[in-house]
């Protein structure tokens, strides 16, 4: 066969694999339901995003109070703080950029088709999932094919890698639910595609730099650890072509940064995302310990406290609520009449009155100690956490052993003669190691394997990069029949893990379930 004929055949197989993958995903979206069919949303995570989308279009606000009044729409992934109207409201704890984009899509559906999320949640959600997630996968597949055709050295290797992308990773698993990880992974795929055209192929078109900057920043806006990709890729392009990077690449990244920070401020009145609001605000007054502490410990609001608030132009109601968090040391003053909350914290010999900035601390919060349960309690041992992250019940290599070949391929690239590919591999290895260490050394409350989900989702954005280092190993296997069979076995196990939670990716992996069955967890 001629090269052109081979290429045409490969393209036909790519299309066939895409059709099967996408068809399977659409079929799973068609079966989606949760809570015994009462709504189409599968977890607190995606329900939190959907609540914002509906609230923006149906009620014209980021506050989700009216939406979650129907308990079927409620979510533990929410925060509670003062809004632009001066009153406290519930908001999704998720970054609002994605919700704003999805709200635009929902607005078109609602006004063009007359379907609302309130009246027809299944229809609208399925339409939006097909448009959004299938559309994202098609973008990722297109970028991957472009890279395979540029850098692949064997037909078998190219098709093997594409089959892995279509069936052997958790990206297709999560394509049936709204989530930020798929978005970040697709943006990463585009960023590495455009970045290698510049770094490996020597292209200098301005649109490549703009696109790489935009895509890398968009990955970071949707998955914070991908900020490391933006930093390393930006540095690499700055070294390779400083002028083009500054003139075209930086504006692409800035456009995303403006959108990300702008929507955060629009939603919450703060430049900081919700997860950054977990501590007391600034001190606005001080109280004498001897004059206030004893009565505060008894759950009473003493006159000196009322006088201090009056001096701040705040007239407390007759019966504000006082919570004794730590006797003699910390109290929380909540006045539902004036709709405000304050922290009273003993510091040295005074009691500081601080503005309330603990957005996750509210009456029915799930995130308070003593309320959380299961994996959300956190893994006590960092070493155990690292083990399960890599080869345990949420393990990258135990659930999807195809990535073992990516490690092999990365070593081959590092030992190869092509310096530019060594640079790319070093960047991918650095990003992976930094991410793994970042999550390993998170505080206890964050060492929860991503909550109830079918894989270690916080590393999913790296999947396109691992597909890149898989290439040399796949090409090496292509020349050896036994190696092809071994690679196929690794892919089969990976595909089985990805297919196990086919109807709800917000469920524990099969290894975790089996260990529960054995009584090990």
CA 450 from centre of chain: 9
Q: Which residues contact 464 (CB under 8 A, 6 or more apart)?
A: 140, 143, 144, 185, 186, 188, 189, 192
Q: Can you say whether residue 474 is alpha, beta or left, with left for phi > 0 and alpha for psi between -120 and 50 degrees?
A: alpha
Q: Which residues does the chain have with pLDDT short of 50? A: none
**Rounded Cα gap, residues 192 and 152, in angstroms:** 15
Q: How far apart are the first and last CA of the chain?
A: 55
Q: What is the 3-state secondary structure (H, E, C) of 329-372?
A: CEEEEEECCCCEEEEEEEECCEEEEEECCECCCCCCCCCCCCCC
Q: Among residues 443, 415, 417, which one has the least CA distance to residue 429?
A: 415
- The 3-state DSSP class for residue 454 equals coil
pLDDT number for residue 467: 98
Residue with tokens 């052993």: 401
Number of Cβ within a 10 Å radius of residue 129: 23
- The 3-state DSSP class for residue 82 equals strand
pLDDT number for residue 158: 97
**Rounded Cα gap, residues 36 and 19, in angstroms:** 30
pLDDT number for residue 1: 66
> Quick one: CA dihedral 158, 159, 162, 168, positive or negative?
negative
Tell how strand 88-92 and strand 78-82 pair up: antiparallel
333-339's contacts with Cβ under 8 Å and 24+ in sequence apart are 333/301, 333/305, 338/314, 339/82, 339/86, 339/87, 339/88
pLDDT number for residue 283: 94
**Rounded Cα gap, residues 125 and 402, in angstroms:** 32
- The 3-state DSSP class for residue 168 equals coil
Largest CA distance in the chain: 92
pLDDT number for residue 36: 53
How far is the CA of 483 from the CAs of 168, 169, 403, 405, 412, in angstroms? 18, 20, 15, 11, 15
How far is the CA of 424 from the CAs of 198, 200, 407, 430, in angstroms? 12, 9, 14, 10
Please classify residue 124 by burial: count the beta carbons closer than 10 Å to its beta carbon, then call 0-12 exposed, 13-18 middle and 19+ buried. Answer: buried
Q: Which residues contact 493 (CB under 8 A, 6 or more apart)?
A: 400, 401, 402
**Rounded Cα gap, residues 126 and 146, in angstroms:** 29
pLDDT number for residue 271: 96
Q: Among residues 46, 140, 41, 171, which one has the least CA distance to residue 99?
A: 46
User: Mean pLDDT for the chain?
Assistant: 95
Cα angle 118, 50, 169 (rounded to 5 degrees) comes to: 135
Please classify residue 390 by burial: count the beta carbons closer than 10 Å to its beta carbon, then call 0-12 exposed, 13-18 middle and 19+ buried. Answer: middle
| Consecutive H or E run containing 479 | none
Please classify residue 83 by burial: count the beta carbons closer than 10 Å to its beta carbon, then call 0-12 exposed, 13-18 middle and 19+ buried. Answer: middle
Quick one: DSSP state of residue 225? G
């Amino acid at each position: 066969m001629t090269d052109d004929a081979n290429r045409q055949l490969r393209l036909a197989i790519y299309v066939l694999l895409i059709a099967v993958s996408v068809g399977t995903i659409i079929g799973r979206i068609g079966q989606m339901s949760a809570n015994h069919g009462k709504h189409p949303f599968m977890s607190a995570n995606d329900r939190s995003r959907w609540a914002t989308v509906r609230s923006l279009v149906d009620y014209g606000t980021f506050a989700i109070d009216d939406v979650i009044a129907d308990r079927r729409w409620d979510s533990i992934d929410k925060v509670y703080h003062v809004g632009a109207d001066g009153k406290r409201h519930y908001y999704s704890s998720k970054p609002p950029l994605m919700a704003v984009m999805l709200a635009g899509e929902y607005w078109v559906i609602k006004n063009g088709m007359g379907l609302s999320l309130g009246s027809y949640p299944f229809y609208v959600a399925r339409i939006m999932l097909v448009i959004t997630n299938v559309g994202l996968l098609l973008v990722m597949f297109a970028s991957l094919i472009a890279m395979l055709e540029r850098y692949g050295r064997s037909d078998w290797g190219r098709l093997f890698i594409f089959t892995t992308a279509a069936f052997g990773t958790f990206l297709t698993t999560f394509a049936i639910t709204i989530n930020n990880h798929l978005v970040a992974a697709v943006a990463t795929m585009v960023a590495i595609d455009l970045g290698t055209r510049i770094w490996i192929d020597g292209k200098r078109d301005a649109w490549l730099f703009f696109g790489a900057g935009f895509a890398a920043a968009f990955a970071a806006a949707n998955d914070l650890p991908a900020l490391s990709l933006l930093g390393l890729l930006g540095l690499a392009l700055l070294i390779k072509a400083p002028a083009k990077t500054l003139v075209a690449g930086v504006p692409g990244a800035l456009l995303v940064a403006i959108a990300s920070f702008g929507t955060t401020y629009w939603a919450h009145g703060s430049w900081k995302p919700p997860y950054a609001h977990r501590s007391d605000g600034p001190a606005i007054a001080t109280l004498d310990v001897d004059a206030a502490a004893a009565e505060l410990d008894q759950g009473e609001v003493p006159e000196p406290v009322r006088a201090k608030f009056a001096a701040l132009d705040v007239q407390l109601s007759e019966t504000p609520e006082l919570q004794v968090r730590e006797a003699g040391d910390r109290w929380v003053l909540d006045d539902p009449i004036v709709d405000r909350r304050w922290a009273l914290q003993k510091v040295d010999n005074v009691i500081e009155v601080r503005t309330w900035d603990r957005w996750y601390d509210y009456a029915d919060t799930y995130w308070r100690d003593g309320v959380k349960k299961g994996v959300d309690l956190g893994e006590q041992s960092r070493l155990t956490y690292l083990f399960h992250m890599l080869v345990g019940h949420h393990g990258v290599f135990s659930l999807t052993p195809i990535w073992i070949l990516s490690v092999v391929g990365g070593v081959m690239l590092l030992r190869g003669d092509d310096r530019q590919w060594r640079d790319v591999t070093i960047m991918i290895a650095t990003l992976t190691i930094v991410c793994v260490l970042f999550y390993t050394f998170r505080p206890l409350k964050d060492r929860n394997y991503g909550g109830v989900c079918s894989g270690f989702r916080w590393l999913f954005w790296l999947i396109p990069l691992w597909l890149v280092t898989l290439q040399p190993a796949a090409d090496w296997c292509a020349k050896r029949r036994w190696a092809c069979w071994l690679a196929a076995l690794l892919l089969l196990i990976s595909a089985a893990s990805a297919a196990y939670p086919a109807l709800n990716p917000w469920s524990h992996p099969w290894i975790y379930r089996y260990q529960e069955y054995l009584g090990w967890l």
